[in-house]
Chain A
Amino acid sequence: GIQVEQSPPDLILQEGANSTLRCNFSDSVNNLQWFHQNPWGQLINLFYIPSGTKQNGRLSATTVATERYSLLYISSSQTTDSGVYFCAVLVTGNQFYFGTGTSLTVIP
């Protein structure tokens, strides 16, 4: 099956710093989503981004499908950004494959 790798696995930032999270996938995909799992366990949609670039406030994402990767940018990080960030890819049908996540801790 498809492999979805995320890096780095863990990241600690000072509040206000910027960061880039990466998601590599081993095969062509039809769709890709980024999620944030907050410290209470809730999975929150960030971006639905099969290709191209999208921005939402301090967050933006870019997917280069031909090169099989996606990037999530977090600018001016805040403590509320802490949690685990997952990318999930759709290969066929309606089945997602999740990466192992990047655990982000933002310290004040």
Chain B
Amino acid sequence: DAGVIQSPRHEVTEMGQEVTLRCKPISGHNSLFWYRQTMMRGLELLIYFNNNVPIDDSGMPEDRFSAKMPNASFSTLKIQPSEPRDSAVYFCASSLTPGRQYFGPGTRLTVT
């Protein structure tokens, strides 16, 4: 079975550019999560969706970040405009059972 799929795996961009990260959850899972991992702050939840509806976006750093889930099999996390402090590894995870999440391989974002 395919796990959570994320693309791209690596992204290098210049400050001010728009960045779009993509995620395909495990088929049949009804919850999807976006996390950010940095050395300074560890793993932080940015936003999560339940049945394609955003439930909690309190972790989204600021208005430059937005996330969408147009259907059960696809989600995007967009940063516009990007800044060097956005450099991090961004993980997507999905779950069917609350408290049992499966993580994708992550996207390593570098903003220069």
Output the residue of B31, B93, B101, B102 with the most chain A CB within 10 A.
B101
For the complex, is B14 an interface residue (Cβ under 8 Å from A)?
Answer: no
Query: Judging by beta carbons under 8 Å apart, are B89 and A93 in contact?
Result: no
Q: Are B42 and A100 in contact (CB under 8 A)?
A: yes
Interface set of B (CB-CB < 8 Å, partner A) = 31, 33, 42-43, 45, 48, 50, 55-56, 89, 91, 93, 95, 97-103, 105-106, 108
Q: How far is the CB of B43 from chain A (nearest CB, A)?
A: 4
Distance (whole angstroms) from the CB of A79 to the closest CB of chain B: 21
25 interchain pairs, CB-CB under 8 A? A30-B98, A30-B99, A31-B98, A31-B99, A33-B99, A33-B100, A35-B103, A41-B105, A41-B108, A42-B103, A42-B105, A43-B93, A43-B103, A44-B103, A45-B100, A48-B99, A86-B43, A88-B43, A88-B101, A90-B98, A93-B56, A94-B95, A96-B99, A98-B42, A101-B42
Complex Cα gap A41–B33 (Å): 17
- What's the nearest-Cβ distance from chain A to residue B60, in Å? 13
Within the complex, the shortest CB–CB distance from A40 to chain B, in Å, comes to 8
**Prevailing SS type, chain B contact patch:** strand
- CB pair A90–B105 under 8 Å, yes or no, is no
Q: Does A32 contact B (CB under 8 A)?
A: yes
Asked whether A66 is an interface residue with its Cβ less than 8 Å from the other chain, the reply is no
Chain B contacts of A50 at CB under 8 A? 99
Task: Identify the 3 closest CB pairs spanning chains A and B, nearest first.
Answer: A31-B99, A90-B99, A43-B103
On chain A, the residues within 8 Å of B50 by CB distance are: 94
Question: Which residues of A lie under 8 Å from residue B102 when comparing CB positions?
Answer: 45
Residue of B nearest to A30 (CB): B99
Q: Give the docked Cα–Cα distance between A43 and B101 (Å).
A: 10
